[in-house]
Amino acid sequence: MKTLLFAFLLPLSASAVQPFPAKREVPRVPSSANAPLHPLDPLGPREVAKALAVLKKEGKVATDTLFPYLMLKEPPKAEVLSWKEGMPFRREAFAELYDRKTGKLFEATVDLRAGRVASFHEVPGMHPSVMISEFDAVPPIVKADPRFKEAMKRRGITNLDDVAVDIWAYGSPRDEFSRTARLMRAIAYFKGKGTNFYARPIDGFTATVDVTERKVVDVLDTDVLPVPPDSADFDKASLTKLEGGKLRPALKPLVISQPKGVNYEVRGHEVRWNNWSFHFALHPREGLVLYLVRYNDHGTWRPVLYRASLSDMMVPYGHSDQHWTYRAAFDEGEYGIGRYSGSLDVGADVPTNSRLFDALFVDDFGKPYVTKNAVALWERDGGLLWKHMDMYNGGKNESRRGRELVIGFITTISNYDYGLNWVFKEDGSLELEAVLTGIMLSKGTTVTRVDGHDHSGDLKFGHLVAPNVVAPHHQHFFNVRLDLDVDGTTNSVAELENHALSEGKENPFGNAFEMTETLIPSEKGAARDLDFLSQRKWLVFNPSSRTEKLGYPRGFLLLPGENAAPYLQASSPLLERGGFVKHQVWFTQERDDEMYAGGPYPLQRPTSDGLPEWQKQNRSLDGQDVVLWYTFCVSHAPRPEEWPVMSVHKTGFQLLPAGFFDRNPALGVRR
């Protein structure tokens, strides 16, 4: 459940387009509250109000209309790329309008400059993602149902104020009814007087709610399992008690100090730091999106990425119990990563030297609201950048300390918290750090102790993390859409592999291995898998831009990190719906309307109309505008040390320049 703070909107002020100021000026609120400076700036409150007024004026809004999303409709890529500061640019709003009475979903584009609806059409058969208001609307419906009361009574619970009801997206539909009606699942936890109800599942009960009809349409009430006895609260008072009366002594301070100020400049949503420049926005669906990432190569600004975003997620649970088989959270497509982001806590969530940015979202009823401090930007120590100690010259040392720029946000979808940080480095590389923390989903069980390595019954599909609590196995799949523009939009794709040569004339001592480079000419054959033996990597390069000295086509390499294949059977409906997990690396030709790997509306969809479908067009990837889609996965077999709250698990990948520069771009870094 999400509590939202509806902040007062800041007064509007028009601000003229100006070049980067010579002196660093620090506007507290980004341009979301002011007139947009750039075609990719998110909508401001005045624009949201105008979009809503135009939709109303043209008769598109009924009494029962909800707004799953109302946000900037990004201008076509070609238009953004040809835009120069000072030129006029289009401003359009994209709105999903959901009629909660009829269940009809519409998409609208509002031309904000002309003050008219530019397009409006129904999207038949699709469900918008779970809306924040539904988290509030569904639990009372469940609690009022006599079957719920009966089920709780069977478990010895008569005071329903002690019970928390949490909701889930329906999952993969299996019949026509579950495709058409808007359905949510509801599960129960014992809250009592505690603060962490996720630790105390009331298992064996799932209700299915028709949200439109506002009634429970199905109840699955099976085993009565013990409610876990331990509260597992982790507020300060509870932890003090748990730790035997006192917490650890506070450590002496470690101070992060930038006495001469920061090294980045911010104007609106644009950031410049070191040799990097980029634009950012906190998108309500995708979370933090980077645009127009460029690197200044000795005075030449070279594009690297046009747009980088999390395109969808899928978190399937691996327990065969019927209360668990539907659980596979498409955290982005079914819920929305950005709009569930929270206000960052400086000194804990992010370092004390962070600069914070508010983000503007629109609630289900079309009202804009601000999430304070939703995005953080900070510089951090990057560890050793490079070094050599000359052992023949008295141990003379040449080394450089690295510095990194990080921009990130944290989202909370019910029990889990995800952080995503983009890291910019001085050697021309980029890293995405995905951070997993929060509370693992819990299942009730009769087991109270393991006594060894028991892997039977509930312990086959999960691990005991507390008496009567099993945390079922699950996988977190993230798909990232990387619209690389490596020194321009004309790019090609190659797969790199290491191969040992057979012993023979070319390899007389059996030590030689080669790196092969295989072009991937088109989308057919561009769904690729990681390979341990050949250490497969992928290169996106610009065939028409060569480095001056060595003549390499300028390229960027995907260096995968932790990953895993899905444990879903081929017959699993989840593989149909979340087809983007079937392979780890995908390439497509860029299309502005191919944005979400699980398709635009994955909620209650039997199949996906996303990435695997688009790829069937077999468009060329040779000298084209190319998009790299990378699916990475954390296979989570829970440990007791991750209970009741997980220490951060960090995962992600890197993008490394490969033949983009003629030499180490970090040689110019001063000591």
Q: Which residue ranges make up the site for Cu ion (CB under 5 A)?
A: 636
Which residue, 160, 132, 142, is CA-closest to 67?
132
Cα(43)–Cα(404) distance, rounded to whole angstroms? Answer: 29
Q: Find the shortest distance in angstroms from Cβ 129 to Cu ion.
A: 21
Which residues is 480 bridged to in the sheet?
Answer: 310, 630
Q: Which is nearer to Cu ion, 267 or 636 (CB)?
A: 636
Q: Which is nearer to Cu ion, 182 or 636 (CB)?
A: 636
Q: Which is nearer to Cu ion, 319 or 636 (CB)?
A: 636
CA distances from 2 to 27, 45, 341, 342 (A): 29, 22, 10, 9
Which residues is 413 bridged to in the sheet?
Answer: 416
Q: Which is nearer to Cu ion, 632 or 661 (CB)?
A: 632
Q: Find the shortest distance in angstroms from Cβ 464 to Cu ion.
A: 16
The residues near 574 (Cβ < 8 Å, ≥ 6 apart) are 172, 314, 316, 328, 568
Cα(354)–Cα(261) distance, rounded to whole angstroms? Answer: 12
Amino acid letter, residue 543? P
Q: Find the shortest distance in angstroms from Cβ 573 to Cu ion.
A: 22
Q: Which residue is nearest to Cu ion (CB)?
A: 636
Q: 3-class DSSP state for residue 478? A: strand
Active site residue 326: no
Q: Which is nearer to Cu ion, 50 or 636 (CB)?
A: 636
Q: Which is nearer to Cu ion, 294 or 636 (CB)?
A: 636
Strand order in the sheet with 183-190: 163-169, 183-190, 201-210, 215-221
* DSSP E strand stretches across 317-441: 328-329, 355-362, 368-390, 396-413, 416-425, 430-438
The residues near 642 (Cβ < 8 Å, ≥ 6 apart) are 440, 465, 471
Q: Which is nearer to Cu ion, 131 or 568 (CB)?
A: 568
Active site residue 622: no
Q: Find the shortest distance in angstroms from Cβ 350 to Cu ion.
A: 22
Which residue, 302, 312, 301, is CA-closest to 337?
312
The residues near 589 (Cβ < 8 Å, ≥ 6 apart) are 523, 619, 620, 621, 624, 625, 626, 627
CA distances from 501 to 508, 530, 531, 534 (A): 10, 21, 18, 12
Q: Find the shortest distance in angstroms from Cβ 465 to Cu ion.
A: 12
Pairing of strands 116-122, 163-169: unpaired
Which residues is 418 bridged to in the sheet?
Answer: 411, 436
Which residue, 339, 332, 343, is CA-closest to 364?
339
Please pick, among 203, 297, 331, 485, the residue that the annotation labels catalytic. 331
Q: Find the shortest distance in angstroms from Cβ 23 to Cu ion.
A: 46
Q: Find the shortest distance in angstroms from Cβ 630 to Cu ion.
A: 19
- Say if residues 432 and 653 touch (Cβ distance below 8 Å): yes
Q: Which is nearer to Cu ion, 281 or 470 (CB)?
A: 470
Give the residue ranges of DSSP H helices in 493-616: 573-577, 611-615
> Degrees (nearest 5) of the Cα angle 147, 149, 150?
60
Provide the CA 646 distance to its chain's centre, in angstroms.
18
Cα(52)–Cα(578) distance, rounded to whole angstroms? Answer: 33
Q: Which is nearer to Cu ion, 149 or 650 (CB)?
A: 650
Cα(139)–Cα(667) distance, rounded to whole angstroms? Answer: 59
Q: Find the shortest distance in angstroms from Cβ 412 to Cu ion.
A: 14
> Degrees (nearest 5) of the Cα angle 178, 181, 184?
75
Please pick, among 170, 416, 418, 601, the residue that the annotation labels catalytic. 416
Q: Find the shortest distance in angstroms from Cβ 476 to Cu ion.
A: 5
Q: Which is nearer to Cu ion, 554 or 636 (CB)?
A: 636
Q: Find the shortest distance in angstroms from Cβ 415 to Cu ion.
A: 10
Catalytic residues: 331, 416
